[in-house]
């Protein structure tokens, strides 16, 4: 985010290091430690395409955070094949049962790799949503028929399969990720400390998680946000502040990143909903929005490009709850992708001031005259 400062009303205090917990990674080399990134290693993060879009998106942030610190991004890998046994990641030498042509055809979102690693394929991950329709000027019958519009996508990240990079991190959500569930079944990790819990995760190094992978750092979450917090916990430890974009906090550069031997078990937070709200955003934030984002149909561009930055900040701060700007904006109307984006990222929305039921007070002066409103 460039220069101009503004006020975010904070309900949440964050410290630079994670709340007095065990470190699981380090930027200091030491014999015997598992290297995750840096010179001499071309690493990848193994994720399941089954996992929530919000988890895969955060894994992409982590892959790029390693790049900010060491100069080389990690890539995201998904298993190449499914079989009677769960198999098929980079480095794997052959199936226990020879393939008989029964491998499922790739889903329509999968397409051939166009450049880079030979014989590997890419899968683009989508979050598909149906935006709410604009009720204005619609007959009651049409309103009942058309509560949502045609499907739209948030597109990306891209998962590569069958690459020759080294799997260094495995990340996913228990009960959602084929990869993590396979580790639980094989008793390589235990989900007992966090199973069914709210926003929890475990993180530690696992020996021989899968054939062909000697060691990997595994982050397994009990639910979507648990996994996301486990991901961003690594980002923060390697020197990427939650505020790296919003406050231009410099990234701490390092030659490499290594996983420590310890275990982290993050239990449920004692405060269930944690967040901040945007308050008194005019003039500073609104002027900054006007300088940096296209005007929306009804006013300043408080759109999903801006809110993606806000939601990322919330998640990096281990928050989950947000009240949007409302002075000169209407969260659910200014950009019909705003509300789906909150869901895709895993942010719980509320509203501030005199704005019950998620409707912005500006909706009444803007649209209310046809319902007998006096424009105020």
Residues in contact with ligand NAG by CB under 6 A are: 21-22, 50, 64, 67, 71-73, 80, 84, 100-102, 108-109, 111-112, 119-121, 126, 128, 136-137, 151-153, 162, 178, 181, 262-265
Minimal distance, residue 136 CB to ligand NAG, in Å: 4
**Nearest of 319, 323, 295, 318 to residue 307 by alpha carbon:** 323
User: Alpha helices of the chain — where are they, by DSSP H?
Assistant: 53-70, 140-145, 178-185, 224-237, 284-292, 304-316, 331-334, 338-345, 363-367
Which is closer to ligand NAG, CB of 111 or CB of 272? 111
Minimal distance, residue 120 CB to ligand NAG, in Å: 6
**Nearest of 74, 81, 85, 73 to residue 49 by alpha carbon:** 81
DSSP output for 113-124: --SSSTT-EEEE
Using the 8-state DSSP alphabet, how is residue 336 labeled?
Answer: T
DSSP output for 276-318: EE--S-TTHHHHHHHHHS---SSSS---HHHHHHHHHHHHHTT
| Residues 234/321, Cβ–Cβ less than 8 Å | no
Minimal distance, residue 352 CB to ligand NAG, in Å: 25
Minimal distance, residue 51 CB to ligand NAG, in Å: 9
Minimal distance, residue 342 CB to ligand NAG, in Å: 19
Which is closer to ligand NAG, CB of 220 or CB of 278? 220
Burial 16-46 (b: 16+ CB within 10 A, else e): eebeeeeebbbbeeeeebbbbbbeebebbbb
Minimal distance, residue 198 CB to ligand NAG, in Å: 16
Task: Read off the tokens for 173.
Answer: 């959500």
Neighbours of 347 (CB within 10 A): 21
Which is closer to ligand NAG, CB of 72 or CB of 361? 72
Which is closer to ligand NAG, CB of 228 or CB of 337? 337
Which is closer to ligand NAG, CB of 64 or CB of 132? 64
Which is closer to ligand NAG, CB of 111 or CB of 309? 111
Which is closer to ligand NAG, CB of 160 or CB of 216? 160
Minimal distance, residue 285 CB to ligand NAG, in Å: 25
């Amino acid at each position: 985010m460039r220069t101009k400062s503004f006020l975010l009303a904070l309900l949440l205090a964050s410290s630079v290091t994670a709340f007095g917990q065990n470190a699981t990674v380090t930027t200091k080399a030491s014999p015997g430690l598992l290297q995750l990134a840096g010179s001499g290693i071309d690493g990848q993060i193994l994720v399941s395409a089954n996992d929530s879009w919000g988890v895969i998106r955060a894994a992409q942030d982590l892959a790029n955070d390693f790049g900010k610190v060491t100069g080389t991004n990690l890539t995201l890998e998904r298993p190449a094949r499914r079989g009677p046994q769960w198999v098929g990641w980079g480095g794997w030498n052959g199936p226990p049962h020879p393939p008989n042509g029964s491998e499922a055809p790739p889903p329509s979102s999968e397409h051939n790799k166009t450049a880079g690693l030979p014989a590997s394929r890419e899968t683009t991950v989508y979050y598909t949503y149906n935006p709410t329709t604009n009720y204005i000027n619609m007959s009651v019958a049409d309103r009942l028929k058309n509560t949502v519009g045609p499907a739209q996508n948030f597109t990306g990240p891209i998962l590569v399969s069958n690459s020759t990079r080294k799997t260094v991190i495995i990340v996913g959500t228990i009960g959602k990720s084929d990869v993590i569930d396979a580790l639980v079944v094989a008793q390589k990790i235990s989900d007992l400390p966090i199973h069914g819990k709210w926003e929890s995760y475990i993180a530690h190094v696992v020996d021989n998680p899968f054939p062909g992978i000697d060691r990997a750092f595994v982050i397994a979450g009990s639910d979507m946000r648990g996994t996301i917090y486990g991901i961003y916990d690594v980002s923060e430890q390697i020197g990427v502040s939650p505020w790296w974009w919003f406050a231009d906090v410099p990234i701490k550069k390092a030659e490499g990143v290594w996983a420590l031997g310890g275990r982290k078990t993050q239990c449920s937070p004692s405060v269930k909903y944690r967040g901040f709200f945007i308050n008194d955003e005019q003039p500073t934030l609104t002027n900054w929005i006007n300088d940096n984002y296209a005007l929306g149909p009804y006013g300043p561009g408080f759109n999903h490009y801006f809110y993606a930055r806000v939601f990322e900040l919330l998640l990096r701060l281990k928050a989950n709850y947000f009240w949007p700007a409302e002075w000169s904006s209407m969260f659910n109307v200014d950009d019909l992708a705003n509300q789906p984006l909150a869901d895709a990222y895993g942010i719980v929305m509320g509203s501030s001031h005199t704005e019950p039921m998620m409707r912005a007070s500006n909706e009444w002066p803007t649209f209310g005259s046809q319902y007998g409103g006096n424009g105020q």
